Structure 1
């Protein structure tokens, strides 16, 4: 039992959940979801406060809330994790932390878990607002659970990237900018590469060339926005497989890619947190 204890995690959880900044971020998160939800109802009802919302419009509401939450998670995760180790280094407390009996993995795990716990609290706090979609039909509980499950996968992977950048880069601001750059690459540049690769593999007369398109498929699979759209609208996934002539479902490549990224980032961060004395 002593081995399972993690003082770094306990300390980080106490500091994070006792600060006013953390609870103000939760309030901002909930207010953002509330504004989008109320705004959607007002627009649909022509600002009269009464009307009919069918299952089709409810799917639109669910899509909007899902992408709003995904966007908030994508932009908040680097800010919470990219300074986990570099801040300790700037405060000159990292060397003291490394001289304790805590292993490198316990330090990395404690920093990572505290950030992930806070982000999971945000998702959990937003569930009552998101669950309003069950009042109007068109959304199954499995769709609701799957969207949150995939958000957690992206959250953990991006948090691991932030921990890695915080370990490798000495300055917190540089580590944060680098993590945001990787996040923008995964969300924006991969979508651009999908367009480019599909255009390259199109004939001069505009007709589609035969054969598989593995690069287009790969960029579609690792893009969080495209993959989340395929979760809500299964026809998006079917269209992607048809266009790229691939048989492997998008979610298999998506999960495999981000699990590998998570494991690789945490392994490199654990190996590089201590000075190489050789």
Structure 2
């Protein structure tokens, strides 16, 4: 019932693996990895296994860590909608009424959602094997790396299924899954880069699998228990939750809309009619749409983000303050994960409820519709991000080494604001051009990760190619698309250069900083024009 005769597993495999998209994804993934190895392969006819093993080791580490990050980002997108997707499609109750055991349902959902990703990882083994003749890494390290990678993928998939059982919206499940996975990914990458030798092999082959198997079993058992006694049975997961009752029954953080700062993103209930001249889209989104499913996701987001921000604040703003831009990287990554969830479903939710045509036939202008949707989503996401900017402000005020770098500190805040705006505009644009909220959210993540992570990754890979092959082309100009490149291009003086005399920094390349703000302004203009054109065209069809 769990594996051989599991109808959920069979149905999901047929739907997911017998599509053209699955084969194209596998082919594209293999082609990309092949091009990476081909670009970094030495140009000599004979390989000297004793020369430059450190550079080859760095290449293999980059290859593996790149796969690890990609797999970590993809896993929740496959599994976080396993249960919540059934609720959105109104098939949840039908699934619960079947004679299948809850454990078999959860097992089938998780295996089906992760099998395709596992095939991608395993299919890359022949390519990584080609890097072994370059030296610097042994076969046992490759085996340990892939064991840790596969176990981590299953663990992250279980986290996605676990979150999916608690939420009625896939977008909420995805963002909480990403926030829960983020500290695990950071810890794993830090360990792999710092540890070496036999200790790393033992941890990867013994400790990580044991921890992952225990966590997977507990989360799957909890998800199965919620199916056995579903709290939302009979409502198809679409009930409107009473915020006051939820606050009384909540454990841990409680959001109080009548107090500061909670009222900034969770306004209290309306006690009077809407005033004349108020944007009805803004009023509806702020008082009903955003919080109609409760505040569980918001409470988890705040608790997880602050729990991770406190140690990072102490590390990067006080102990190793020369690496202070890394705390800002965490703030931007938080907004990248959380911000789009409030805007990527703005227009797709109207389409899914079949109310988009009704909205477009009103007397509201396209700018009123878009501005109402945007202001509400951006307001909530930026207030949540501001909670993480307080530690940055306090750290820079309490540590006098930042006093002579106040211009660069202001630049850090400005980069966070600009990145938050770009995230919001891209999410709203994807919501307007996609049909489903989950597709819109994933498309937003893909676009933003390409803009933000692509340029730094190309710069790093270009340095490795030049080291290994003595060839390569400068790609630093691509940094204008990434806030991370702009952060590390901010000029800092000698007070912040304790470790390595600032060699890890790009020494004050203000062209990258100015270029980033110019490029981001162009992105805002292009997305605004695209949204206005799309909404006008759709409105013309409705009329």
In structure 2, the partner of 1:191 is: 456
2:455 aligned with 1:178, yes or no?
A: no
Q: Sort the Cα spacing of 1:5 and 1:139 in 2 relative to 1 into closer, same or farther, 3 A.
A: same
Residue in structure 2 matched with residue 84 of structure 1 by the alignment: 346
Matched, 1:222 2:481: yes
Cα 1:137–1:33 shift into 2, 3 Å: farther
Structure 2: give runs of 5+ residues left out of the alignment: 1-274, 494-501
Partner of residue 244, structure 1: none
Distance 1:64 1:146 in 2: 14
For residue 195 of structure 1, report the CA deviation from its aligned partner. Answer: 3.9
The structure 2 residue matched to 1:33, chosen from 306, 326, 335, is: 306
TM-aligned CA deviation for residue 231 of structure 1: 3.0
User: TM-score when scaled to structure 1?
Assistant: 0.76
Q: How far apart are the structure 2 equivalents of 1:54 and 1:117?
A: 27
Listed one character per residue, the Cα deviations across residues 222-274 of structure 1 (whole Å, up to 9, x for unaligned) are 122121222375774437x5xxxxxx711221111111111111211121122
Distance (Å, rounded) in 1 between the aligned partners of 2:344 and 2:492: 33
1:122 correspondence with 2:384: yes
1:238 aligns with 2:503: no
SS in 1 for 2:364: coil
| Aligned equivalents of 2:312, 2:524: Cα separation in 1 | 37
Identify if the C-alpha distance between structure 1 residues 96 and 259 changes in structure 2 by more than 3 Å, giving closer, same or farther. Answer: same
Match among 311, 327, 331 for residue 65 of structure 1: 327
Which protein has the larger Cα radius of gyration, Structure 1 or Structure 2? 2
Give the superposition deviation at 1:98: 0.9
Residues in 2 aligned to 1:129 and 1:171: alpha-carbon distance in whole angstroms: 36
Contact 1:55 1:137 in 2 (8 A): no
Cα 1:14/1:145, change in 2 over 3 Å: farther
- Label 1:115 to 1:272 Cα distance change in 2 as closer, same or farther (>3 A): same
Taking a change above 3 Å as real, the CA distance of residues 56 and 35 of structure 1, as seen in their structure-2 partners, is closer
CA distance in 1 between partners of 2:317 and 2:356 (Å): 56
Cα gap change, 1:174 to 1:233, in 2 (>3 Å):
farther
Instruction: Say if 2:289 is the partner of 1:9.
Output: no
Match for residue 252 of structure 1 among 514, 521, 535 = 514
Aligned to 1:164: 429
Q: 1:231 to 1:122 in 2, by over 3 A?
A: farther
For each residue in 1:136-156, what CA deviation from the matched residue of structure 2 results, as whole angstroms up to 9, or x when unmatched?
Answer: 322245444322221111111
Relative contact order: is structure 1 or structure 2 higher (C-alpha 8 Å, sep ≥ 6)?
Answer: 1
Match in the other structure for 1:49: none
For the structure 1 residues 59 and 131, does the alpha-carbon distance in structure 2 shift closer, same or farther, using more than 3 Å as the test?
Answer: farther
Which shifted more, 17-26 or 190-199? 17-26
Q: Map 1:267-278 to 2 at 5 A.
A: 267-273=529-535, 274-277=538-541
Unaligned segments of structure 1, at least 5 residues: 45-52, 242-247
